[in-house]
A and B are shown apart, each in its own frame.
Chain A
């Protein structure tokens, strides 16, 4: 009898396991069939407001405020549009590319995905051209330069909806500058050297004058900070890589010399921007080029803000690095079935709703970031006049070449070679030449 019961239990367990598997399968089958079935909706004739639609939104976490605020926005949208449900998934920056890659690889891409580069998804044709999914009114509201910067280097089309931006600036610790007796942030490389020397000597090396992040977090910005400021850069106007140009070499050599003088943080290859922001806040580091949301993270730290210093022997003004994030809208080929017209309409509607200044600008203020729409910027100027000063800087900002499909590969090579340079096993010239060799010809 006991045996019989045990047998039955085992059988039940196995059946349950099978049932579990098959139930799940059925579920997903249903889902894809619904979107793939041509009879489900008559194209063009369907009453798009009546069909129940689900939008999956995979977003990045900019700060602790991101998720609660976006949930509020989504709730407001769902209240206005009872037939549309928005599934919001907020993931930290460290994991979001992994999460997206897993979803895309499984054919279950989110509808909206917040990232900093669309280039890797363009060759497979997985993204909507933004003019096919964004309403003309919203499209016209974006700063034209933002859309220009998003254009894919391969076909000149834009596959990312401008989401937000940040600019980089030089932040100087007010307390340190006061103690040493320096009045204003340095503008040129010569002034930087002078300020570094004074700070170094004043504190006998206990305070690091200049911060360098050559880690995997920010190593790609070295060319922007030390190449652009010397007349060099990543690519020329025709998107040909120019990593080993003399201006870049001189720029990296200059940064390396600061490090060798003991004027920088001791471990540029492993100390990240975040580590150094903390050092600035603790009065251990005097100057750091970092993103414009830094002051919002450490509101109690007195900071002087300047432009990224440049070499006045070679260039006449500073170049600001702008960083832009986008929303990629995945099309049907990444989701196992074409979107129904109702679904497309719902996505368009959601974007319109999201970018209303009422919600969008508040989101930007929460995060200390800059809006990509003109209406958003206008409202920001009314609410936070200080912050809107950055918008003018943004107008003249330059962007990295991350609309090239090989961008990530080249940057990985560049970062590794730069680290070898800081370690002393490569010169600046060797590091840049090796990186240039990792680039494909255009």
Chain B
């Protein structure tokens, strides 16, 4: 018997990978969580049927969501990660000795529990002393914070489920309030390629641009995600993502990465015309 896992990228496009064994399956109060082993992508995490991370290409996502802002402002001391219960973003952040605290706010504690058990490649640093994990609705957690963070990373799932509230203007506005005067907000910004996702890309960008003086997106290539073409949002109160990049300083840190480098950093902000048009529409 052959076992295949299919991720529905749109109602008309499917992406399937052969699975060798199902490692875990859990219905939490928030969502259905599944973990599978696959020959091509290694161990994969699936939430409500949608692919979240794979062992094979998660490094691209997690490096790009963390090292871009850290290279722009290496003085970041207090970081808030919303979502990201698999721990991959935290793992990259712990590479910076200068970071003093990392608050991880995950709405579903079972994601963290299962990640700790079955996804050691991402969850390995969740036990770092600087990391505090809060099981709470992201919107609620941020609402109570004022000028407490240098960097907020929104490492959420798609805006069509439990993470819907993390793509709203009220959320970005409360993040603005929770950031210090030179704070940076990075968010998982979906794919611009399929029409089905374009509206959320455009709306998220519009909502962020209203709140932050600096607001743009950057891109990377993640093979297992819909269309492979993925965006992150870079919004900040002060720093420019390229103008304030000090490549020499970052390279001196000697942080080992497999995807990110400072040349790619600059290139990632060079956007295809169709993406520019989408954002300005």
A, B co-complexed? no
Seen from chain B, the residues whose Cβ lies within 8 Å of a Cβ on chain A are none
